[in-house]
Amino acid sequence: MTESILTTIKQMLGIPAADVVFDQDVLVNINSAFMVLHQLGVGPEDVYFIEDATATWEDFTTDITFYSVVKTYIFLKVRLVFDPPGTSFHLAAIENQIRELEWRLSVQVPIPPEI
Residue 56 belongs to a domain: yes
On whether residue 47 sits in a domain, the answer given is yes
Amino acid at 10: K
**Does any domain span residue 49?**
yes
114 is a domain residue:
no
Domain of 14?
5-108
- Whether residue 113 is contained in a domain is answered as no
Domain assignment present for 32: yes
Split into its structural domains, the chain has a count of: 1
Q: Is residue 115 part of a domain?
A: no
Residue 39 counted as domain residue: yes
pLDDT by 10s per residue, the chain, length 115: 479 999 999 999 999 999 999 999 999 999 999 999 999 989 888 999 999 999 999 999 887 878 889 999 999 999 999 999 999 999 999 999 999 999 999 888 776 656 6
Q: What is the DSSP string of the chain?
A: ---BHHHHHHHHTT--TT--TTHHHHHHHHHHHHHHHHHHT-S-SSPP---STT-BHHHH---GGGHHHHHHHHHHHHHHHHS--SSHHHHHHHHHHHHHHHHHHHHHSPPPPP-
What does pTM read for this prediction?
A: 0.90
